[in-house]
A and B are shown apart, each in its own frame.
Chain A
Amino acid sequence: MAFFLNSNKYFWIVLCWASLQGFSQRIIKLEGTIIDSLTNEPVRGVAIATTADNKIYGQISDKAGKFALFLPQGKHIISLKYLGYVPQWIYLNENSPDQKLTIRFQKVAYQLEQVVISTKGYDENIKKPLLGVNQINIKTLSKIPAAFGELDFLRGVQMLPGVSSVGEASNGVNIRGGTTDQNLILMDDTPIFNPTHMFGLFSVIPPDALNNLDLYKGNVPARYGGRAAAVMDISLKTPDLTKFKMTGGLSLISEKLMVNVPVIKDKLAFYVAARGAFHDFLLPIFSEDLDSVKTRFSEVVGKVFWRVNTKNTVSLMGYWSDDYFQTNLLANLPNVVGETTFFEHRTHNYSLKWVSLINPRLDWQTTISSANYDPTIGTIETANRNKVRLASGVYQQQVNSSLNYQFKKQKWEIGASFTRYQIKPGDLKPGNSASVNALSLPSEYSQEAAFFADGEIAINNRLAATFGLRYSYYMALGPTTLRSYQPNEPKDDFSVIASQVIPKGKITKSYGGFEPRLGLRYALTDELSFKMGYNLMRQYIQIVSNTTTPIPTSRWKTSDVHIRPQISHLITGGLYQSLKNNIYEFTLEGYLRQSENSIDYKPGADFLLQPFPETQLVQGRSKAYGIETMIAKKKGNFTGWLNYTYARTFNQTYPDLTVLEQVNNGNWYRANYDRPHTFNASIELVADKHNSFSFNFTYSTGRPYTEPVGFIQYLNNFYPYFDERNNNRIPAYHRLDLAWNIKNPSMKENKKWKGNWAFTVYNVYARKNAYSVFFKTENGAARAYKLQIFGAPIISLAYNFLYE
């Protein structure tokens, strides 16, 4: 009730009314009553305003919520605004008739959350005992300014506290001090082994099919297992059983299209969503040097949903993705004479899910899934242009079945899963080459069985708890050749004492154990609660790669006699404060994480076609701790969040290793992604019904890198030499992005075809962020360089449409 309180009459605040009006023009009369959407009470004091012919037409609603405007014939955008309420707009054009409207005004506090990125579980944030759960939905993701206008879940999650990466070309994210492969990325229950296209630039999920992303970085329910740090559970949209729908879009990078078809109304429907990027033929126009760069990717997801009857549903999902990347910017396939290096990688995942409602309190869900990832690195031979390929593969099949039971104040889930892994470590295919031999490493087989139970109990109004317990049992299987090594000596070709051939199916080593997951919530007041949790997670499959970020062809390895599974303990605690009817939310979380058997590498480790990877790596431990704070405004036309994280991650090789195998003499040293300070801001401003603006700002400490300790003249050249790992840091990273989203610019409502434009500028102030600092020896001299991925602002325009 800030202004014009004292009047019961219409207030005319028309300026310049005296100026000439066209007499031939019709006057449009707009009358209305504004009522509260919940109470139906009239709302007094709403400012109704528009401009026409350089004049402002305006009015304030009266005690009865009434107003009337007389406007010259023409296009008008009339805004209706009042503090504490969600603003609205009315659109008129030349042909609009006089109208009398009833406008329901909604209090901001009652509004559904705009920022759907929140620390919520399934329930109210402060009431749920789960900590460190972030939910991001597609609406939020699509508003985050993205490089090249391509919606990207991996860049989206990096705006959350506790999520970082080694840089723009990183092939995955680091969550609370975990390596990229310690995150389980699930897409409709199938694991994604390589989450990015084009070496980290784009993520692999078709944007139109993406529905929701749950990020578990604190309490992880016991139904998830197999990775030591975090879970990103991505759900795809369910096909719409009622209407035909088509969405699509165009950007500088890609074209995409999704078609939803109901086959039998309310019973059977499917959709197909595809995205393709094939624009690399344009590259040489921009620079001759790019002539040798060839890159394209595509992905297709199809999903069928069948409502068998009121109690049973079946859904079938298939996902295929394909990448080709040719560059001289990545290390080539060594020891094959050739000029150009290329990478090909392919994923095909399938899942079949059956949900059966036994009674209103009990349902039974069963999923059968298969995930297949086939990366290849290759070289093109100079003379005959023959392609020599080194192919590898990771294959996982899983059956998962669980029962869910819902009491009044309790919820239980029990289930079991069985997983088979097959890893094809390397298969050298010479093609037509006369110079290269065919070589193949035998596949590695293993399996894992798990049982789990999750419970959620509200003990009273203040106290609630979640209990999760998982038991996993892992078996490494033959056929394999098993070496044993001299104890107390480095594992290498010289310390082998015996080599044994194990027949097919025989268990060579098993590991297992309980994985407790606990969460407690105590509500101090209705708006303030305290939570704490403990997690233990076991990981049996990992990437073994000694590069700063795994490349798509990095080798996956399941645990065996020599490589023990990774075990991670995580303790978290947090305070959650909700303010002003849940418009604002403040969270403070702290964590301490300790991992056993994390993987580290001997200097010069090489895993390409290495039959005994244990000779290349050492195991150790890792510790990580951090404090994450976040304030979010979740409702209104101005929404967004700010967060600050202080986080550290250190590694140490086990002290029982020999001096030669230890990294940094066995002392704790900074992990590659140890970035102590991170600040993120993400803001969205809704200007009107059609226009919104979003801004992102991010800052983080530069990541560690290894700087030489000196240089030597050696073999007619000048070479750096190194001593301690990660002894310095690259410069700090910061960046501002903005996006202007224009929704349905034709402003015609109820059209079948709706178009949206997204104009984005990534890296607005052209910060030349270093991705890496490296040293190069060139003709007798050495120089230091920094590599930048995006050294300039990237301006892009994308068009998306919806037809229904």
Chain B
Amino acid sequence: MLLLGFIWGCVDLYKVEIKTPKSYLIVEGTITNLPERQFVSLFRTQSNAIFKSSEFTSTIVAQRGSYEAVKGANVKVVEDGRTTYNLTEETPGVYVMPSLFLGKVGSVYQLFIETKEGQQYVSSLETMNKVTPIERIYEKFNPKGVLDRSTSIGQIATNDFYVDFTDPVNERNFYRWSSVTYEIQNICTTCRGGLYYKQATSGACREEKLLSVNNLFDYECESLCWDIFYGNSLNIFSDVYTNGKTQKDKLVAQIPLYQSNPCLVVIRQESLSANAYRYLKLVQDQSLNTGTLADTPPAPIRGNLDNTADKSELVLGYFMANMVEENRYWLDRKNTSGAQPYGLFLTKNGREAILEQPFLYRASVPKSICVNSDTRTSNSPSGWRFF
């Protein structure tokens, strides 16, 4: 039965060069019921942007400048048709909700955007539905793991998270699961061709003529520092066949084994509206569930935003209002094997850290500031256990 070996094994990389004919607005934003930073991001793809498979890994990458932040727009969210929340532009194209805002279950939200040029976009009404809590959560070590090309090793072992939950009777429910992982990081800055200097509250690499331009020096963090990883799986579910039943062993996240240190995994079980589910299902069918013998041919996916003047304009992305049930899980990684303590830097970069030695270029070497961002924090995340 040689045949099936041939049949099922044959997937090759394929090189493409794709030119985007026109410009599209991309909107991403989710209102939740949790006290967390909530934002709407507005970007525009450039017309004539080129997406090309890279030479060695065939990863499709965008040319620089393919996306442009939509700056200076007037962005607001209206709750139940009454209360208006104005969003403020935090960084170019990223508009945040007022810091005290908490979404309310059962409320209806609508997003309004007016660009500097006067184009108006409005979302459909999105109701924040209730989501049932996670009843049981457990994880298993998966030595086979996943392909994670953000690491130097590619295929990486994971801890797989499963949940049980009971779907409520008498209502249609749609779910999404996402995860956020906090990993301890001990290297905070890498300088190429330079040295790290620190002022009171900030630090930066400065060029050093004695060093080759490709010289690398890594600097340890001066305080505890966590790298934040957002799970990128798109995991959704509808109760169309399972209404009112308890669901068991639902795989919801695969957390890569970057290092042997314990980490904090936040599993989020979210509600979706029916249309948000449909939208994400299409995204899933077109980019994740592909490569089967009978794929669904892709088609343009309409989100829930329309240009009020031109309904045929395709706006990418979806404005959602999701209730979130969080479970903060202390993953001690005692069931794993093969990872190194404080191995995050090594796993990601494919090399050990090269620390600048004192008295080589200067008497004392500063430690680096852990700069807070979307992907890093020096504030201990809630649920972190200190030894």
Contact = CB atoms under 8 A, between A and B. Distances in A.
B290 interface: yes
Nearest to B274: A493
Contact of B150 (A551, A709, A780): A780
B59 interface: yes
A791 B6 CA distance: 6
B119 interface: no
A783 B53 contact: yes
Interface in B13-49: 13-16, 18, 20-22, 24, 26, 28, 43, 45, 49
A780 to B, nearest CB: 5
Interface string B120-152: 000000000000000000000000001111100
A525 interface: no
Contacts of A609: 240-241
B93 to A, nearest CB: 11
A336 B7 contact: no
B234 interface: yes
A403 interface: no
A785 B301 contact: no
Interface stretch (B192-200, B247-255, B261-269, B332-340): B247-255
A407 interface: no
A336 B2 CA distance: 33
A791 B10 contact: yes
A776 B12 CA distance: 12
B151 to A, nearest CB: 9
A389 B60 CA distance: 39
B246 interface: yes
A201 B293 CA distance: 11
A779 B150 contact: yes
Interface string B165-183: 0000000000000000000
B10 A788 contact: yes
A437 B311 contact: no
B241 A546 contact: no
B314 interface: yes
B26 A714 contact: yes
Contacts of A724: 300
B245 A787 contact: no
Given A253-B3, A712-B317, A603 B8 contact: no
B18 A709 contact: yes
A314 interface: no
A171 B43 CA distance: 42
Given A252-B3, A785-B11, A787-B11, A335 B238 contact: yes
Contacts of A289: 8-9
Interface stretch (A228-236, A276-284, A463-471, A641-649): A276-284
A279 B21 CA distance: 50
Contacts of A169: 293-294
Interface string B250-289: 1000000000000000000000000000100111011111
A400 B230 CA distance: 65
With a 10 A CB-CB cut-off, give which of B5, B244, B301 has the most chain A CB atoms. Answer: B5
Contacts of A790: 6-7, 10
Contact of A782 (B59, B244, B249): B59
B51 A775 contact: no
Contact of A286 (B4, B11, B62, B301): B4
A786 interface: yes
B296 interface: yes
A437 B244 contact: yes
A603 B303 CA distance: 12
A784 B60 contact: yes
Nearest to A549: B294
Interface stretch (A3-11, A219-227, A428-436): A428-436
27 contacts: A169-B293, A199-B294, A283-B5, A329-B292, A330-B292, A335-B242, A428-B241, A435-B246, A437-B243, A604-B278, A604-B281, A604-B282, A706-B299, A708-B18, A710-B51, A713-B43, A715-B28, A716-B232, A721-B301, A723-B21, A780-B150, A784-B58, A785-B12, A789-B6, A791-B6, A791-B9, A791-B10
Interface of B: 1-16, 18, 20-22, 24, 26, 28, 43, 45, 49, 51, 53, 57-60, 62, 66-67, 146-150, 230-232, 234, 237-250, 278, 281-283, 285-302, 311-312, 314, 316-317
Given A712-B45, A713-B43, 12 more contacts: A199-B293, A286-B1, A331-B294, A547-B296, A551-B294, A710-B24, A721-B301, A723-B21, A774-B291, A786-B11, A787-B10, A788-B12
Q: What are the 10 tightest A-B residue pairs by CB atom distance, in nearest-first order?
A: A603-B299, A788-B10, A547-B294, A791-B10, A710-B20, A774-B290, A777-B287, A717-B232, A716-B230, A286-B5
